[in-house]
Amino acid sequence: MASNNKLATYINRLESYIPQHKFTNTKISKATIGWQIDHSLKVINNVCLAMQSSDPNTFEKNMTFIGKFLLTLGRFPRGKAKAPKHVRPPEIIEKEALIKQIADAKKNIESINTLPANAYFKHPMFGHINKKRVTRFLEIHTKHHLNIIKDMNK
């Protein structure tokens, strides 16, 4: 689907870094490339699943100013937020787990297009993010972690 092309490209880029999943560059991040990949995929998959199971009737237009600002800006600042527990990677990141999450993410982003307009997920800092804004959020978040990986490889 056209609206998810950029996100699909980013997922393919994450996939291309799987062979380097154990690499780290502590000047850029304490985490490994695998951590960046795993976290990005957990966010994509959890957001899509949350939207699929959300009740559009309970959607509230309560997106915070900071959420609107960052989505408009198109980038997230580094080192300012801490990943919620449910999207934090495990201690040991297995290559096979990354490959499975990649396949899930590719399927899950396709499901976005079939969801009702007010399907949503609740972001801990931004409030409710519905279908209209979710792809933008996932693109910015994934690109944020791809940029970290790129800088780690410099």
Structure tokens given for 36: 């960046």
Domain of 87, in residue numbers: 2-152
At 39-51, the pLDDT tens digits run 999 999 999 999 9
**In the chain, what percentage of residues exceed pLDDT 90?**
94
Residues paired with residue 18 on neighbouring β-strands, in sequence order? none
Q: Angle at Cα 146 formed by Cα 142 and Cα 150, nearest 5°?
A: 170
What residues contact residue 153 under an 8 Å CB cut-off, 6+ apart? 20, 23, 25, 33
d(CA 62, CA 130): 11
At 118-149, the pLDDT tens digits run 999 999 999 999 999 999 999 999 999 999 99
Under the banding of pLDDT at 50, 70 and 90, the label for residue 104 is very high
**E strand intervals along the chain:** 120-123, 127-130
| pLDDT of res. 80 | 86
The CATH number given to whatever domain includes residue 110 is 1.20.120.450
Question: What total of structural domains would you count in the chain?
Answer: 1
The mean pLDDT of the chain is 95
| pLDDT of res. 1 | 40
Under the banding of pLDDT at 50, 70 and 90, the label for residue 62 is very high
Chain center to CA of 85: 14
Structure tokens given for 124: 């801990």
d(CA 135, CA 114): 13
